[in-house]
């Protein structure tokens, strides 16, 4: 069964953050993800998710000065203390929200031995703390052509190389279909080959990162393929709605709770 999670950082942007939970429930979602909940008291986030009957399925560990252009700090040798404080904060939120997975962002960093060894040590640190809470740490290759030039890993091979070197059972791949269409294509076969290693997926169409059906990816076919493969994780709807979020959800109707929508 295809389980879609509303991405509350990119959807329903006309609403305050907490009210986006109500909008996601009304639209028929059962799960939500977001980038950073840290501006909101975790008890308030947990209470709203509970009120709306929504699972919180993913969010990001703190990733540096996002407004200032940083996209993660785990690979930055001079930011280890800040990263590890962020892991503690992220896990505090994960416990409060009952969220079983956190995305760790490496950042824009040179492919140097020092940056790589810093990243591996930070992933191991995060994974070992997270394991105690039953939380998975996810590593997402992000396209370096459009969204984050200079990001530390842009392909599944690069991300899996880091995951393999960290060698912790609760570190898995976050497969963002949009990013991987840009960087390597061959979506159906890659997802089939890597399915056991994928802890979470996300979607958007390409080009433009808007709703499925707005670009080149055949989502009706691909989502049925993913379902047929037996993927039982979540797929985050991490796209920029072309207009009104709810009006743009026609593509998702087969996968949403009709009783709610």
Ligand X SMILES: O=C(O)[C@@H](O)C(=O)CO
Q: Indicate which residue of 82, 140, 165, 192 is catalytic.
A: 140
Partner that binds at residue 60, options ligand X, Mg ion, none, CB closer than 5 to 8 Å by kind = ligand X
Cβ atoms within 10 Å of 179's Cβ, excluding its own: 28
Query: What string of DSSP letters covers 71-86?
Result: -B-TT-GGGHHHHHHH
Q: How far is the CB of 66 from ligand X (least distance, A)?
A: 9
Between 75 and 139, name the residue whose CB sits nearer to Mg ion. 139
Q: How far is the CB of 259 from ligand X (least distance, A)?
A: 29
Q: Which residues bind ligand X (CB under 6 A)?
A: 35, 60, 103, 140, 142, 176, 179, 202, 238
Q: How far is the CB of 60 from ligand X (least distance, A)?
A: 5
Residues 165 and 199: beta-carbon distance below 8 Å: no
Question: Which element (helix H / strand E) includes 19?
Answer: helix 17-27
Alpha-carbon gap, residue 195 to 191, rounded angstroms: 5
Between 20 and 179, name the residue whose CB sits nearer to ligand X. 179
- Catalytic residue check, 238: yes
Q: Which residues bind Mg ion (CB under 5 A)?
A: 176, 202, 238
Q: Indicate which residue of 25, 33, 136, 238 is catalytic.
A: 238
Q: How far is the CB of 184 from ligand X (least distance, A)?
A: 15
Alpha-carbon gap, residue 52 to 205, rounded angstroms: 28
Give the closest residue to 5 by CA, choosing from 28, 36, 39.
Answer: 28
Between 9 and 245, name the residue whose CB sits nearer to ligand X. 9
Between 35 and 120, name the residue whose CB sits nearer to ligand X. 35
* Closest-approach residue to ligand X (CB): 176
Partner that binds at residue 131, options Mg ion, ligand X, none, CB closer than 5 to 8 Å by kind = none
- Catalytic residue check, 136: no
Q: How far is the CB of 148 from Mg ion (least distance, A)?
A: 10
Between 152 and 255, name the residue whose CB sits nearer to ligand X. 152
Radius of gyration of the chain (CA): 17
Three-state helix/strand/coil letters over 114-148: HHHHHHHHHHHHHHHHHHHCCCEEEECCCCCCCCC
Partner that binds at residue 103, options ligand X, Mg ion, none, CB closer than 5 to 8 Å by kind = ligand X
Residue 135 makes CB contacts below 8 A (sequence gap 6+) with 91, 94, 99, 100, 101, 102, 170
Active site residues: 140, 238
């Amino acid at each position: 069964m295809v389980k879609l999670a509303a991405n509350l950082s990119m959807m329903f942007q006309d609403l305050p953050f907490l009210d986006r939970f109500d909008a996601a429930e009304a639209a028929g979602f059962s799960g939500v993800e977001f980038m950073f909940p840290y501006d909101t008291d975790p008890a308030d986030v947990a209470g709203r998710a509970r009120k709306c009957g929504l699972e919180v399925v993913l969010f990001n560990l703190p990733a540096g000065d996002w407004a200032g252009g940083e996209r993660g700090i785990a690979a930055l040798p001079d930011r280890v203390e800040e990263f590890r404080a962020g892991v503690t904060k992220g896990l505090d939120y994960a416990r409060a929200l009952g969220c079983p997975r956190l995305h760790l962002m490496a950042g824009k960093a040179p492919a140097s031995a020092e940056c790589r060894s810093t990243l591996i040590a930070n992933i191991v640190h995060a994974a070992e703390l997270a394991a105690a809470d039953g939380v998975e740490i996810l590593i997402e290759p992000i396209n370096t052509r459009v969204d984050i030039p200079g990001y530390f890993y842009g392909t599944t091979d690069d991300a899996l190389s880091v995951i393999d070197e960290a060698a912790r059972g609760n570190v898995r791949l976050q497969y963002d279909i949009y990013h991987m269409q840009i960087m390597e294509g061959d979506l159906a076969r890659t997802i089939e080959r890597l399915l056991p290693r994928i802890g979470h997926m996300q979607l958007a169409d390409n080009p433009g990162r808007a709703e499925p059906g707005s670009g080149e990816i055949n989502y009706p076919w691909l989502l049925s393929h993913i379902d047929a493969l037996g993927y039982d994780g979540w797929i985050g709807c991490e796209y920029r709605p072309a207009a009104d979020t709810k009006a743009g959800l026609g593509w998702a109707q087969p996968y949403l709770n009709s009783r709610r929508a």
